[in-house]
Structure 1
Amino acid sequence: MTRLAPGDSAPDFTLPDADGQNVSLDDYRGRKVVVYFYPAASTPGCTKQACDFRDNLAELNDAGFAVLGISPDKPAKLAKFRDAEALTFPLLSDPDREVLKAYGAFGEKTMYGKTVVGVIRSTFVVDEAGKIETAQYNVKATGHVAKLRRDLSV
């Protein structure tokens, strides 16, 4: 499984958002973007993480960071999740897991002491030129956004 590191080119992608509109990483060229991968919309950990991003979005945006969340969920499920939690940043659908795999955010992981294959909760900061600035794998759902803000001095 490929793991990205600072300095690598961020794999480009175009994925549908919760409304079925295509969103590309290239749309954010010239701006820093936090791209985070999560296992499933509307689950407790993913809801906590998404709400943390929502609650910190103004400060991240003010510091020049956009936020994109990506999961294997279909757009209709993402729309329900967005509306239920009043999420104000794009949630993107990667049902084929191509982008998840390109970022190393899908593969073997340990859950409750067992090795399983699934989404690896991961966060990346992509710089203005499309390079990976930060690559964090196996992040915790709770407290992750606060740690990311400290790491980014936001």
Structure 2
Amino acid sequence: MTLQPGDLAPDFTLPDTHGTPVHLGDLRGEAVLVVFFPFAFSGICTGELCELRDNIEEFETAGVRLLAVSTDPVFALKAWQQQEGFGFDVLSDFWPHGTAARAYGAFDAERGHALRGSFLIDADGVIRWAVVNPRGQRRDLEAYRSALAAI
């Protein structure tokens, strides 16, 4: 079941591309956008995250920290982050495989990867906006902008 606005965001600790653990609970007090994506180096995922990269100032101005999460291993995510110049955290939900994505209802167990799910979490850890798109459907930047305006 996918989490909805008003739900408490499940906590997680995942390694970033340097292997440093990022604990969602440590980020209480600031808004966080958790963006699950299926695969590094894939066309739609690259397009979506490059669009977020190119508009990161909008998130920073709103006081929102971006965490991009995939079930890819750390080393693949590191190479992709360096190639694309992502200045935000890219986290690996590789092992136990998809645990964070499952907790948010954003995991495709049949195919073994995260779905395109985004969750805007307020400073108190409550989900204020959520979207999970079907396979092959990219997320809309305007929807992110509307969600940012609402917090």
**Taking structure 1 as the reference length, what is the TM-score of the superposition?**
0.88
Matches within 5 A, 1:4-153: 4-95=3-94, 96-107=97-108, 118-138=113-133, 140-141=137-138, 144-153=140-149
Q: Over aligned residue pairs, what C-alpha RMSD do you find?
A: 1.8
**Cα distance, 1:117 vs. partner?**
6.0
Counterpart-to-counterpart distance in 1, 2:130 and 2:147: 12
Letter of the aligned partner of 1:10 in structure 2? A
The percentage of counterpart residues that share the same residue type is: 38
Letter in 2 for 1:97: G
1:19 partner SS: coil
Provide structure 1 residue ranges, at least 5 long, that are not aligned to the other structure: 109-114
Query: Which residue of 2 is the match for residue 112 of structure 1?
Result: none
Specify the code of the residue in structure 1 equivalent to 2:118. Answer: T
Whole-angstrom CA distance in 1 between matches of 2:128 and 2:146: 15
Distance across 2 between alignment mates of 1:8 and 1:150: 19
User: Could you say what secondary structure the match of 1:36 adopts?
Assistant: strand
What's the offset of the Cα at 1:151? 3.3
Any idea what the Cα deviations from partners look like across 1:10-60, whole Å, max 9, x if unmatched? 000000001100001112111111101000001111100110111111111
Q: Which runs of 5+ in 2 are unaligned?
A: none
Equivalent pairs counted in the alignment come to 146
Where 1:136 maps in the other structure, the secondary structure is strand
Q: 1:102, 1:123 → 2: CA distance?
A: 13
- Cα deviation digits, residues 43-94 of structure 1 (max 9, x gap): 1111001101111111111111110000001111111011000000000000
1:73 aligned counterpart, secondary structure: coil
Q: Which amino acid aligns with 2:149?
A: S
Deviation at 1:120, TM superposition (A): 1.6
Q: Secondary structure at the match of 2:55?
A: helix
Q: Distance in 2 between matches of 1:146 and 1:82?
A: 24
Q: Distance in 1 between matches of 2:149 and 2:6?
A: 19
The code of the aligned residue for 2:68 comes to G
